[in-house]
Amino acid sequence: MTNKIFNRKTLVLAFLCLIPSVASAQDGAIDGANTAWILTSTALVLFMTLPGLALFYGGLVRTRNVLSVLMQCFAIAVVISILWLLVGYSIAFGPSESAYWGGLSKAMFSGVVVDSVAGDIPETVFASFQMTFAIITPALIVGAFAERIKFSAMLLFSVLWTLFVYFPVANWVWGGGWLGQMGLIDFAGGTVVHVTAGVGALVTALVIGQREGFPDTPMMPHNLTMSFTGAAMLWVGWFGFNAGSALAADGSAGMAMFVTHISAATGALTWMVIEWIKYGKPSGLGAITGMVAGLATITPASGSVGPAGGLIVGLCGGVICYFATTYLKQKVRIDDSLDVFPVHGVGGMVGTLLAGILVSGNLGIFSGNGFAEGTSMGSQVTVQIIGILSVAGYTAILTFILLKIVGFVTSGIRVTQEQEQVGLDITDHDEKGYAM
């Protein structure tokens, strides 16, 4: 009898304790479930860069450059985190009335305190989540200039590029800027992350030039096991990237997570099938590249499409990114070392365009969330195209200018021919990735 009375009292007390929480949530205070999910998503997105992207890229280069790639990804995470504190968060998400940047009123996180709220999560959590996007975007460009860039030039370029390209574009799309005001659909970074990184990578590859021996000398990945491990981490981390962009633990996050997974699987399968048909065997490298293509392509559309739409996005991403990669490497012979532009840049463009189509609620099983009131498919697709072209054009121009500035300051971006032959592990860091 005593136990029953105790249990009843416990239940009543527990219920009474919940009442203030419910009232607080209704008053716009912090939602614990949403906060917990975005904290988790923040860790997942950082996990994508360190160790995911670092291992993925590290396994794809030659043995003498593996440590340099790991160091580049690590160093970018370090300096961009500090840059985010200094001015990045303010430029991207500050309260400026300008449609092009957020101003400097939140520089050094001015006004961001324990009680600051962004929606129904702490502002510090929101800012930390967005910081991980700012970290991975310049890190993606590492794949374009791998094995031939000075460490000092890489570091200076990454800081300037993030400051003058990523932060303003993030404001245009997510921080209340002009593209967001136009109604651009970019749920998790098709333009902000993938178009900027992809176009930046293409311009960088063109300016810095081909690796010694490209394309005649085979430059095979030195450790596909490492790349597979990194790719698997990217797949898992991407759930934080896309589903976390809902900024809530709700149905939108659940749908974003599901379509992300379906698109990744479809992209991988598509790439495998194409290789199987063309060469008689599917490659492991092709499978993980197709997976990344599927992930990049679904990113802008993950908050707009349904499950069948995720299948279409992954299929388009796999096919288009495969042929873009082949064309760039074999026909045009641009040495974008690890295929950043054809996978991330092209994938982001395709996904951003498809988001404007598949968001329609009138496509049967392929229907998405439906257009905003007063918007048609034609007008939405027009906005998507404007977003793609403006972000790509701005990124290309700024990237070229910044590369010239960095080259002047560092007396050349590229290492010498002798240093390239020795390998950047030794010439940049006086260390070896492997003791052999």
For residue range 34-47, what is the model confidence (pLDDT) as tens digits?
A: 999 999 999 999 99
Average pLDDT (318-335) is 96
pLDDT at 23 over 90: no
Q: pLDDT per residue over 385-419, tens digit each?
A: 999 999 999 999 999 999 999 999 999 999 999 99
Tabulate helix, strand, coil % of the chain (nearest 5). 75, 0, 25
pLDDT at 246 over 90: yes
Give the pairing of strands 117-118 and 121-122: antiparallel
Please give the domain boundaries of the chain with CATH numbers for all domains. 33-429 (1.10.3430.10)
CA distance 101 to 164: 10
Q: pLDDT per residue over 249-292, tens digit each?
A: 999 999 999 999 999 999 999 999 999 999 999 999 999 999 99
Rounded to two decimals, the pTM is 0.92
How many Cβ atoms are within 10 Å of 206's Cβ, its own excluded? 19
CA distance 365 to 377: 17
Task: Quote the pLDDT of residue 337.
Answer: 95
pLDDT at 19 over 80: no
Left, alpha or beta for 430 (phi > 0: left; psi -120 to 50: alpha)? left
Q: pLDDT per residue over 100-147, tens digit each?
A: 999 999 999 999 999 999 999 999 999 999 999 999 999 999 999 999
CA distance 199 to 195: 6
